[in-house]
Structure 1
Amino acid sequence: MKPVLIIQQVVLDTADYFIDFLATQNIPFELRQMHAGELPPASIFGYSGYCMLGGPMSVNDEENFPYLRQQKALVREALAAGVPMIGHCLGGQLMSTALGGTVTTTALPEIGWSSIQVTDTQAAQDWFGGHSTFDMFQWHNETFSIPHGAKLIASSAHCPHQAFIIGDKHIAMQFHCEVKHSKVRHWAIEEKADIDALQHLASVQSSDSIVETLNQRIPASNAMAHIIYSRWIRSLTDI
């Protein structure tokens, strides 16, 4: 089958469990690393799916990160061609803005684990395996709007727009369902100063708390990611 295209924005925001999952399903992938000077492909043609990962830059900063503009063009092409898309954090914001939505600074940045509330719709239940709530890792200070034609399927107390779908093939998420233990631990320790600066906010978990609960949190997070990814690959164009 044709490979899934994965766009990695920065060196420390890796595909983690998403790649693990594709490997277990014998689904090939092609990883393009923006931080290494690679560029997005000129066209989505030749790919069975399109995955965009997160990054610390603003999705609105195309001047300094021109490859964001190219990724948005691929979003529009994938939608027109029926190639399934999945966006994680910045990736979800790319999907929103590419399709006419907006990304703005959120009133309360989210860092750490938060409870995701699933909307009471059949589509949402389908994507999240019948779960009404689950915990996911967050690290963002911007939030996406729901573009025209999309449907909100998940929210949280501090960020009403956590996930949306377009039709039955495409999903955009503000949360990081792809994370594994090492990535979250690295973020929590190496970026502790950034966390401490926002510690007064109810939406920000302490660095120590993030690290201490990893062994309990990650298995449940990966189990939910497995559900989401299993639903997503059902629509891969030539699986």
Structure 2
Amino acid sequence: MGARLLVVQHEPDAPAGWLGEWWEAGGVELDVVRADLGQPVPARLADGDHDGLVVLGGAMGANDDALHPWLTHTKELLRDTVRGGLPTLGVCLGHQLASVGLGGAAGPNPHGRTVGVVPVALTPDGADDPLLAGLDGAGAVHFNDDVVGTPPPGATVLARLPDGSPQALRLGERAWSVQFHPETSPEIFGAWLRWERPDGLEPADEALLASVTAARDRLRGSWETFAARFAAQLG
């Protein structure tokens, strides 16, 4: 029997994308919880049911529990899974939720939005990391207004954005979070732009989409490696 991941999805247009494709091709089963559709997020992973946890992105903020009550349960689940030593990956909103759940802080970036393909800038710790080693300078899709302002106690910064905010964190022996979107194809990225511009994309949006589309093969090459490394943690 192959490994099984619990995946928390927050929005219809923010699926597991490429990550899900690669994991399933490698024999990993995905149990997707659509929190936005009212499917309950468990407070912890049941023994033997899942081998790891992935929490995806979304437009809401990590502190918007009053508007999206499942975020409280998701932070509890992240905290319990990280502390339990099971493989964990938080992506964008998942990155911010993990930090808040573990005692850090996240909120609007005073430097504004990060959007498009931005290189990963590894720290010395990131250069030796089991998931990110060798990926310094690799392009990664970003689409975020919020960032982690204060990493949780004990976290290690693996990469930083140009504004200095954490681009990737090691949260535990087998737990990571990334501000970028290794799962995001140009098609998903385009859906996000169109959601914000229902009357049609502006020239700047078209240019952003073109840049992500042009990077497709490079993005897939880098983040398929990352996905395989995370899957290897499930054994």
Could you say whether these structures have the same fold, taking a TM-score greater than 0.5 normalized by the shorter chain as the test?
yes
Amino-acid identity (%) = 22
- 2: CA distance between counterparts of 1:109 and 1:69? 25
- 2: CA distance between counterparts of 1:123 and 1:44? 31
The Cα of 1:122 is off from its aligned counterpart by 6.1
Whether the aligned pair in 1 keeps the contact of 2:126 and 2:157 (CA below 8 Å) is: no
TM-score (norm 2): 0.89
Q: 2:122 maps to what in 1?
A: 118
Q: How does 1:47-86 map to 2 (within 5 A)?
A: 47-86=50-89
Whether the aligned pair in 2 keeps the contact of 1:195 and 1:207 (CA below 8 Å) is: no
Provide the aligned C-alpha RMSD in A. 2.3
Matched, 1:157 2:162: yes
Specify every segment of 5 or more residues in structure 2 that has no aligned partner in the other structure, as ranges.
none
The Cα of 1:166 is off from its aligned counterpart by 2.2
Q: How does 1:157-196 map to 2 (within 5 A)?
A: 157-192=162-197
TM-score (norm 1): 0.88
Check 1:20–1:142 CA distance in 2 against 1; reply closer, same or farther (3 A cut): same
Check 1:176–1:194 CA distance in 2 against 1; reply closer, same or farther (3 A cut): farther
Whether the aligned pair in 1 keeps the contact of 2:85 and 2:173 (CA below 8 Å) is: no
Q: Letter of the 1:163 partner, please give it.
A: A
Q: 2:33 maps to what in 1?
A: 32
Whether the aligned pair in 2 keeps the contact of 1:181 and 1:218 (CA below 8 Å) is: yes
The Cα of 1:162 is off from its aligned counterpart by 0.6
- 2: CA distance between counterparts of 1:132 and 1:30? 31
Q: Letter of the 2:52 partner, please give it.
A: G
Specify every segment of 5 or more residues in structure 1 that has no aligned partner in the other structure, as ranges.
200-204
Q: Which of the numbers 129, 136, 140 marks the counterpart of 1:132? A: 136
Q: 1:202 maps to what in 2?
A: none
What is the aligned length? Answer: 230
Per-residue CA deviations over 1:167-211 (Å, capped at 9, x if unaligned) read 331110111111012111222234247998xx9xxxxx9211122
Matched, 1:143 2:147: yes
Check 1:218–1:104 CA distance in 2 against 1; reply closer, same or farther (3 A cut): same
State the SS of the aligned residue for 2:169: strand
